[in-house]
Amino acid sequence: MSNSLPGLRGGAVMSVAAWSLCATGVAVSQSSAPVSFTKDVIPILKERCLACHGESQRQAGLDLRTRDAMLKGGDNGPAIVPGDAIESRLYRRISGLEAPVMPMDGEISESEILTIRDWINQGAAIRGAQETATVDADLLQYVSRREGSCV
Ligand code: HEC
């Protein structure tokens, strides 16, 4: 029966750890298996971002439905710099390197942040004919409020 880490303290330690990870832009290097735009990236954007950066709203002039639209970017320029997540505003905003942190009023998990980071670092690639560069309009309506580790 070990009570060496009371729940409250354990919780506080976890929060600080999650906060530091986010605040430093998830600088920890991780394995980066090839990321699929269609299978891995689009579902994250649909769930976390497109309510405000898609068909019905373009906050900051930014449309995140296609790779081309990300390259064009928003009011402050391109959202992605292929091959360089750290220089990409989209990554800077979700990782906490640049404020205000995205998704605004929402949540995104650490693994989702790492998926997007790896995709950008891999050249923001769209591989092969089965990969689509466009998000289906009929899937834009939902924004989940699932628990994330960075809020
Ligand atoms: C609830 C609405 C909302 C959601 C959801 C949201 N954003 Fe935003 N986003 C905004 C607003 C508002 C701004 C402008 C804020 C500012 O820069 O002062 C903005 C600005 C941005 C910018 C800066 C664009 C520019 O050129 O200035 C980026 C990049 C961005 N968002 C990425 C994302 C990403 C990636 C997600 C999903 C993980 C996301 N946003 C989710 C509302 C939202």
User: Is 92 domain-assigned?
Assistant: yes
User: Is 147 domain-assigned?
Assistant: no
- Choice between 96 and 28, residue whose per-residue pLDDT is larger: 96
Instruction: Indicate the pTM of the whole model.
Output: 0.75
The pLDDT of residue 129? 55
Check: CB of residue 61 under 8 Å from CB of residue 70.
no
Lowest mean pLDDT among 22-26, 85-89, 95-99, 125-129: 22-26
- Residue 12 φ/ψ region, left for φ over 0, alpha for ψ in the -120 to 50 degree band, beta for the rest: alpha
DSSP string across 58-70 = BGGG---SBHHHH
CA-nearest residue for atom 18, ligand 1, is 100
Polymer length of the chain:
151
Average pLDDT of the segment spanning 30-45: 87
The mean predicted confidence, pLDDT, of the chain is 77
User: Is 150 domain-assigned?
Assistant: no
Check: CB of residue 70 under 8 Å from CB of residue 134.
no
31 pLDDT higher than 70: no
Domains in the chain, number: 1
State the distance from the centre of ligand 1 to the C-alpha of 58, rounded, in angstroms: 9
Is residue 80 in contact with ligand 1, taking CB distance under 6 Å?
no
19 pLDDT higher than 60: no
The separation between the first and the last C-alpha atoms of the chain, rounded to the nearest angstrom, is 33
Is residue 142 in contact with ligand 1, taking CB distance under 6 Å?
no
Average pLDDT of the segment spanning 115-140: 72
User: Is 32 domain-assigned?
Assistant: yes
CA-nearest residue for atom 28, ligand 1, is 90
User: Is 65 domain-assigned?
Assistant: yes
Cis preceding-peptide flag for 78 (omega within 30 of 0): no
60 pLDDT higher than 80: yes
48 pLDDT higher than 70: yes
Q: pLDDT band for position 61 (50/70/90)?
A: very high
User: Is 110 domain-assigned?
Assistant: yes
User: Is 144 domain-assigned?
Assistant: no
User: Is 90 domain-assigned?
Assistant: yes
Is residue 73 in contact with ligand 1, taking CB distance under 6 Å?
yes
Range of the domain at 71: 7-139
